[in-house]
Amino acid sequence: MKHPLKFRLFLLSKLPAAYFAGLRFVKADATTCIVSVPFKWFTKNPFGSIYFACLSMAAEMTTGALAMAAIYKRPQRVSMLIVQSEAQYFKKAKSTIQFVCNEGKRIAAAVEEAILAGNSSVTVQSRGINKEGEEVASFSFTWSFKAVRKA
């Protein structure tokens, strides 16, 4: 997902709403993921801010990318699913917002636990920050991981 063209093609084929909203990876490694969502015609609501669903999509992508990285190329297959989400909004999102999740280690530990125990879950946070450095929204997502046993 680090290659911009491959990422855009991935979005277009698997997450077309994220493609048209203009979501972009700013940073992605084993512990941290940052995704930006622009303030533009497609993401705007009638109240002059970014539509909550676009904010949620960017926030979820930060946690989901870390989860996908944790299960990528594992000899033991692991399925992943969001089982709960919660959001808090603090300010109007009237510019490009960057969502940051720094919980890659906790996600990787939950994947390891799922491989050993059969399943696990972890609740992680993603914070949305505007260009002034102010927090505009905070999301928490509970991911469930299950080891896929061969029949």
CB atoms within 10 A of CB 40: 12
Q: Is the pLDDT of residue 151 over 70?
A: no
Burial 60-99 (b: 16+ CB within 10 A, else e): bbbbbbbbebbbeeeeeebebeeeeeeeeeeeebeebbbb
Domain that holds residue 118: 24-147
Q: CA-to-CA distance for 9 and 119, rounded, in angstroms?
A: 32
pLDDT tens-digit readout, 72-122: 989 899 999 999 999 999 999 999 999 999 999 999 999 999 999 999 999
Please report whether residue 12 resides in a domain.
Answer: no
Q: What is the pTM of this model?
A: 0.92
Sign of CA dihedral 132, 124, 1, 19: negative
Q: How many domains does the chain have?
A: 1
- Domain harbouring 83, CATH code: 3.10.129.10
pLDDT at 116: 94
Please report whether residue 8 resides in a domain.
Answer: no
Please report whether residue 110 resides in a domain.
Answer: yes
Please report whether residue 19 resides in a domain.
Answer: no
State whether residue 114 is helix, strand or coil.
helix
